[in-house]
Structure 1
Amino acid sequence: MPGTPTGPPSVPPGGAGPGGPEKGPGPEPGGPWWRSVPRIAAIAITVAAAVVLIVVFTRPGGGGTASAGEIVRDPVNSAGEHPFTPPSTDKAPSEDPPAPPARNLSGSEAGVYGGTQQTASCNVEKQIGYLAADPAKNSAFASVLGIGPAQVPGYLRGLTPLRLNYDTRVTNHGYENGGPTTYQSVLQAGTAVLVDNHGVPRVRCACGNPLKPPVEQGNVRLTGPTWSGFQPTKIVQVQPSVTVINVFIVYDPYRDDWFARKHGDQYGRHDKKVPPPPVTRPPSSPSPNTSSPSPGETSQSPCPPQPPGSPCPPSSPSSPETPSSGSTTPESSSASSSSASTSTSASTSTSASTSTSASALTLAPESSVSSS
């Protein structure tokens, strides 16, 4: 009886084993090194292509993440390169931005926002419809604001449609390749926005982009189209109020008047005309000298909230008053006094060029700004 084979079945020379593919010609192990050059070249090309894509998709103003230190100017009616949605607002006239009373303004302060009485600057239901029609965009929108996709309609209905009264710094977000992108921007005065109950702009209505407060920058460079009257010294940042805002005191530039709008009023149906807010005055000086300050001196108090483009009224010898914020909470007086302490004289900055020293253009917490 023959013995059991002790080794594997023999394979014909150049053939394949049972069920195995036939081996083709190829380099022998330990063969010449130049035979691996094509494979190395293919890997190098793939890496180079990946680097190019990263550069392209992170260009500022192109819907990608802006380069560090760049701030993109977004004109009032521009949708940008990669908007989330079509506009949910009518076009607004472009006007020269006024000089702000301070660089950092509380969202509860009177006159931070403007609008037209009994007219909404944004169509909230249209914005909801745009996002609902595209679940991917709706999810990306929700992720920026830290809410769930199903919460977007209720979130938007809880915001207040207003317009920026000043050129304002924000963190902007576009939509590209199925996800949100991020860049720092300046929104032109007059831009229609949806504002939350702490006075922070959260949606830009010309493009549906979600907004967040600006982030700290070092030395920055402004890019993008400019507009009449633009000056880095007029850029403001809106700080969230400490407590919830129930009523906004809004300036109506078309009627040169003031009105109160309840937070969350989508249509402005409950707007009510109100008198101009009182203003803060420094104690009158005992000196009879009324001449202009000598060189090197600056005003002791910035211009308080006034209709955009209006000069500061003359000082009053009466005791100081506190501006009304329109909030039904006690935050208004503390927010106003805080903004006054951080303000600077706008009159000493109006002649500044778009490329100036850090001290003249501090945008808290930025250190300097230059234009391109």
Structure 2
Amino acid sequence: MSKIQIFCIITSMLFVACKSTPKETSITIENKAEKKACCENIPNRFTSEKEVKADEMVWIEGGTFMMGGDDKQARDDEFPKHEVTVSGFYMDAHEVTNAQFMEFAEATGYVTEAEKKPDWEEIKKQLPPGTPEPDDSVLAPASLTFFAPNHSVNLNNNAAWWAWTLGANWRHPQGPDSSIDNKLNFPVVHVSWNDVMAYCKWAGKRLPTEAEWEFAARGGLIDNIYPWGNEDIDLGKIKANSWQGQFPNINEEKDGFYKSAPVKTFAPNEYGLYDMAGNVWEWCSDTYHYDYYKTIKGTSVNPKGPETSYDPNEPGVFKKVTRGGSFLCNTAYCSGYRVAARMKSSIDTGMEHTGFRCVKDK
């Protein structure tokens, strides 16, 4: 979901405008939306000689694997399966926590995009000419939070379980009356791609490529569906934080959590990486293009993704890839906890179920 979708949800007039966006639009790296994301403009105070503790990261020996969908739940943008080689890298053992992000924010004074008033001049560049400006009550610091409807809903209408919540941000995940005081070891959320790029620069790390992320999530297993193998997520022992029950109105909480869980709650994969399935979606460095896999010929070595962005659902919005699924994923809805599952979001959007982890070159 993007901020454009947010305004579509809130105002029916904007919804009509969004639906009329030309289908064949492809957003390139030169577009203004991407220029806003370029980390070269991040102030030098975000660059750090911060020491990386050995127990915070895991060395992933590089190798060659088959990347892409493994089962009937795989979607079209996960095909065709193709051969990829990645070099070795270090990866955070778990998602970046509230405590870690707080250290960054306090050291740099960084303010996330969810904590700022949305810039209408930037947003309207992604909308059809003549789109009316929303009311000031909409153009206020806010972010998307999950709420459960009290009845079953059409799963094609994600507005049925997302709310544009004023005052929601990484410090207040469910809105101004919530806090992270007792959740410092939970993954940070409501952080946009732009936000996490700033954190990476400060930490002396970077975001993983989509190929690195999938290689690491597979944990050395060949053509398996999940980080733990092929056993269905709802069978046997609890393996990850996901949605058990009827999504989005009934969560049976068999895993012990209604929403996100503390990092390292569930068993790691064979590489010692936690929460590569479920908990929160994780940003990658790659630009998202629906047909990207179809353009790859032969073995791809350390791929960094396409130069152009295209999502048929929002063809005019520049997007980056997210991976791993979240506490909202279940078999009936998205099964995002599969190692090959792909999701995407605009670079300025933060949500209650999206966080990140970092990697570092040797």
Q: Which has the higher contact order (CA 8 A, sep 6+)?
A: 2
With normalisation by structure 1, the TM-score equals: 0.24
Structure number with greater Rg is 1
With normalisation by structure 2, the TM-score equals: 0.25
